[in-house]
Amino acid sequence: MTELYTLTIHEAADLLRQKKISSVELTKAHLNRIRAVEDKVKAFTLVTDDLALQQAQEADKRIASGADISPLTGIPIAIKDVICTKDILTTAGSRMLEHFKPPFNATIMEKLNAANIVMVGKTNMDEFAMGSSTENSAFFNTHNPWDLQRAPGGSSGGSAAAVAAGMAMGSYGSDTGGSIRQPASLCNLVGVKPTYGRVSRFGLIAFGSSLDQIGPFARNARDAALLLQAIAGKDSRDATSSPNPVPDYTASFTGSIKGMKLGVPQEYWVEGTQPEVIKIVRANIERLREMGAEIVDVSLPHTKYGVSAYYIIAPAEASANLARYDGVKYGYSYRETDDMWEAMEKTRQYGFGAEVKRRIMLGTYALSSGYYDAYYKQAEKVRSLITQDFEQAFAKVDALVSPASPTVAFKLGEISDPYQMYLQDVFTIPANLAGISGVSIPGGFSEGLPVGLQLLGPAFGEEVILRIADAFERETQYHTQWPHNL
Amino acid sequence: MIDRKTVENVAKLARLGMSEEDVTTFQQQLSVILENIKILQDADVSGVSPTAHASRLTSVMRADVPQPSYPPEVLLANAPDQEDNSLKVNAVLEGE
């Protein structure tokens, strides 16, 4: 029999419903897999094995009772450590929150618990989701299961590595500038950045509130759709969550993209992209054409300003959001002084890591008197232009196709210059600025390392891009590949 | 290139403690980043209004009805220091 950890979510859900396997068996298979490979991968900040087995037993009871069950009932899932889990450590990858146990669940956790998922653990990440390699975690590096010398991408690197290594069947991450799509690209996964407002942010530790979205990682498009379905929808505790009805995502999976119009943004062929990545993405575009899609060139003329606008807006929002870490209410607190200001300054000096400080500094600078108009206001205007570029493109095409990341997985320690690391997100950032939907899907391999293909859809276009992802998978089968050396 | 004084001032605004060495590092790194994102100034934004958020909603209101909250001991469970169901902090006002 195939190892249970290699099943897809939809396969496992069928077997659970038919009572051919139990959730306890499925969960034990994943906990055993964690025991076997986690020492090498280091995807988890916390493995919740006791909780997982208890939740698996509850799921089995629910299935036995004949009650109506969700496609995720009894499925082992990993959660990025930036999503609040009641009474369970939620560190955001930071010393600041090393011992923090939230008094409440994020809305997505309430939904997932109501669906009787099995949580196997919390996953490692760049501190406060700031980074593209997970090397900014205050605790340890996560290794890419495809090559343990390399980074899994970031900031949701632990969530990506856990699924790529078979330690969880699916996972959730957060994407502020590419933190789901880029690690999905580097780990051969499907990673969805939903439309801004599609998923409640309540209980997601804030980084850039106008950009952040929670989304899933999966080993195929159908699983990704099921994982998104479970968390999407309006939430009264997040005023930016959308009242738009949530469609049945897998209902659109016809396997055909005949007659669809796909745009190739000309500004996305940029210097700094590895030639092999360009070659593979171009071949994928040809494949989509052969599958019956009409391929047209489109222009997103303000693309070149994307990274710059993002590195004003995201740090500006972060500098405000992270002002709450003052050592008073929760988190790390410097206590060796009676002076209020000194306590606050040293709390933040010792509690935050280098990248977080850099962004707080950059954001505070951009918002400070004398620089506000030149930086922040200018960036917000450019954001409007980038949004308009997409609106004009989506008036002509159903979706856009591009590389997800300019490179394959890079070696741990290889990128030491902060600005060079920022360029990892050159293809993913514009979608966050415009608040549209995006997904990275397995697009092939360059010398054994995964290359991701990014599909961008309009706002609330998840149905369209997931349908393309599913059809592409049926043709290519890249998503069925596993890392060999684990 | 931003100067040392600017870095120190921004750190103060952000209430971020910093060693002399940190100031030097941030001065260098922030200068590189600002140099790279300078291109932003080239964008023609005449007549463009700023976008503050990507939400397609405006003025979301709800009824002003009290909702159940958490007991103080739950909310204070993560507090570094507390007394009588309150957060305990250093003296805020100076003097006697």
Task: Report the C-alpha gap between A197 and A274 in whole angstroms.
Answer: 33
**pLDDT tens digits for range B59-77:** 778 889 998 999 999 999 9
The tokens describing A3, both together, are: 């190892």
Tokens of A425: 């997100």
Nearest residue, CB atoms, A385 vs list B11, B22, B43: B43
CB-count burial class (<10 Å; 0-12, 13-18, 19+) for A354? middle
Render pLDDT for A17-61 as a digit per residue (tens, 0 to 9): 999 999 999 999 999 999 999 999 999 999 999 999 999 999 999
Q: Determine the pLDDT at residue A439.
A: 98
Q: How long, in residues, is chain A?
A: 486
Question: Pairing state of beta strands A399-403 and A118-123?
Answer: unpaired
pLDDT in tens, A58-103: 999 999 998 889 999 999 999 999 999 999 999 999 999 999 999 9
Is the Cβ of A371 closer than 8 Å to some Cβ of chain B? no
pLDDT of A2 above 80: no
Kindly write down the DSSP assignment for every residue of A294-311, as one continuous string: EEEEE--TTGGGHHHHHH
Per-residue burial over A110-128, b = 16 or more CB atoms within 10 Å of its CB, e = otherwise: bbbeebbbbbbbbbbbbbb
Q: Which residue has the higher pLDDT, B55 or B33?
A: B33
Which residue in A308, A443, A291, A425 sits closest to A362, CA to CA? A308
Mutate to test the interface with B, among A267, A361, A386, A422 (most CBs of B within 10 A): A361
With residue A109 as reference, give the H or E element that holds it: helix A107-114
Phi, psi of B87 (to 5 degrees): -70, 135
- Do residues B30 and A319 make contact, with C-beta atoms less than 8 angstroms apart? no
Which whole-number Å values give the CA distances from A405 to A274, A297, A460, B29, in the listed order? 9, 20, 23, 24
pLDDT digits (tens, 9 = 90+) for A96-153: 999 999 999 999 999 999 999 999 999 999 999 999 999 999 999 999 999 999 999 9
- The DSSP 8-state label assigned to residue B29 in this structure reads H
Give the pair of three-digit tokens for residue A108.
């997505």
- The DSSP secondary structure of A235-255, one letter per residue, reads -TT-TTS--SPPP-GGGG--S
pLDDT at A1 over 80: no
Cβ neighbour number for residue A410 with a 10 Å cutoff: 21
B65 touches chain A (CB under 8 A): no
Q: What is the mean pLDDT of residues A240-268?
A: 97
Predicted pLDDT of residue B55: 77
Residue B95's pLDDT band (cuts 50, 70, 90): low
Write out the H or E segment, with its range, that includes residue A366.
Answer: helix A354-367
A300, A430 contact by CB (below 8 A): yes
Q: Select from B12, B40, B67, B87 the residue whose CB has the most chain A CBs within 10 Å, as the one to mutate to test that interface.
A: B40
Rounded average pLDDT over A354-379: 96
pLDDT in tens, A275-284: 999 999 999 9
Residue B53's pLDDT is 77
What pLDDT, on the 0 to 100 scale, is given for residue A485? 81
Torsion of CA A233, A180, A100, A334, to 10 degrees: -130
Average pLDDT of span A404-429: 96
E runs forming strands in A115-256: 118-123, 170-175, 190-193, 213-218
**Contact yes or no for B91 and A338 at CB 8 A:** yes
Residue of chain B whose alpha carbon sits nearest to that of A368: B10
pLDDT band of residue B57 (cuts 50, 70, 90) is confident
Q: Which of B9, B36, B92 sits opposite A419 (nearest CB)?
A: B36
Question: What DSSP string describes B61-92?
Answer: -----------HHHHTTT-SSEETTEE-----
Six-digit token string for A63 = 């299935």
pLDDT range class, residue A461, cuts 50, 70, 90: very high
Please indicate whether, in this complex, the C-beta atoms of B55 and A210 are within 8 angstroms of each other.
yes
Q: How many CB pairs under 8 A join A and B?
A: 174
Whole-number pLDDT of residue A67: 87
CA A104, A107, A112, A118 torsion-angle sign: negative
Arithmetic mean of pLDDT, B84-94? 88
Q: What pLDDT sits at residue A326?
A: 96
d(CA B23, CA B7): 6
pTM over 0.80: yes
